A and B are shown apart, each in its own frame.
Chain A
């Protein structure tokens, strides 16, 4: 079993839909990161979470440390949100463990 699990692996949504991507982990962490990777490979760091909830525009990320679970929500999804979303945890030792990623496609 992977130490960081993401679901779903693939997701297709219609423009405007509310989207949720989940990440569960089995190791102790210092923080959890959500990354976005567009076709072509460029990766952008979206959020770094150690507790609670963060919001940036239409993106919301939450983490429940006790349940070892995080969610990334996209409100009013748009085709430009189409990308791979990757959850990464750091264990406090300057090292990431990555989830397998969720490939999101938003249709116009």
Chain B
């Protein structure tokens, strides 16, 4: 069974630009969650989607948004990039959602904002 895939793996952007990251969950998984990891703040929860509905979100500004498609694939978007948005962005998938069963993480997208 294929694992969680994230594209692209690496991305370099400049301040003010926007970026879209993609996550394809394991086949059959309906929940996708997103996380930001930085050296200073560690891992932080961004949002969780289940069957195209956002069920919770973390304490991030509105510049961070996401969506989930009917095939469970998910995208997250960051608009008006800031230097502090440089981070590893991870997604994870599961059958029924964060906290209810095992989360399977993707390899991450490393975003650098110059």
Residue in A closest to B97 when the chains form the complex, CB atoms:
A94
- CB-based contact B45/A98 at 8 Å: yes
- B39-56 Cβ-contact flags toward A at 8 Å (1 or 0): 000111100101000011
Give chain B nearest CB distance to A104 CB in angstroms. Answer: 16
A86 contacts which of B43, B56, B104 (Cβ < 8 Å)?
Answer: B43
- B84-112 Cβ-contact flags toward A at 8 Å (1 or 0): 00001010100001111111110110100
- CB-based contact A98/B44 at 8 Å: yes
- CB-based contact B45/A97 at 8 Å: yes
- CB-based contact A95/B102 at 8 Å: no
A100 to B43, CA, bound (A): 7
Give chain A nearest CB distance to B48 CB in angstroms. Answer: 5
Give chain B nearest CB distance to A99 CB in angstroms. Answer: 8
- CB-based contact B42/A100 at 8 Å: yes
Q: What number of residue pairs across chains A and B have CB atoms under 8 A from each other? A: 66
A91 to B99, CA, bound (A): 8
Neighbouring A residues of B31 by C-beta, 8 Å:
94
| Contact count band on A | 20 to 34
Neighbouring B residues of A101 by C-beta, 8 Å:
42-43
A99 to B44, CA, bound (A): 9
Q: A41-B90, A43-B90 are in contact. Are A94 and B103 (CB under 8 A)?
A: no
- CB-based contact A96/B102 at 8 Å: no
B58 sits at the interface (CB 8 A): yes
Residue in B closest to A29 when the chains form the complex, CB atoms:
B99
- CB-based contact A98/B107 at 8 Å: no
A44 sits at the interface (CB 8 A): yes
B104 contacts which of A33, A45, A88, A93 (Cβ < 8 Å)?
Answer: A45
A residues whose Cβ falls under 8 Å from a Cβ of B: 30-31, 33, 40-45, 48, 86, 88, 90-101
The contact sample of 8 A-B pairs, CB cut-off 8 A, is A41-B108, A48-B102, A93-B99, A94-B98, A96-B35, A98-B42, A98-B45, A101-B43
Known: A45-B102, A94-B97, A95-B56; 16 extra A-B contacts, CB below 8 A, are A40-B107, A41-B110, A94-B99, A94-B100, A95-B45, A95-B48, A95-B57, A95-B58, A95-B99, A96-B45, A96-B98, A98-B44, A99-B42, A100-B42, A101-B42, A101-B43
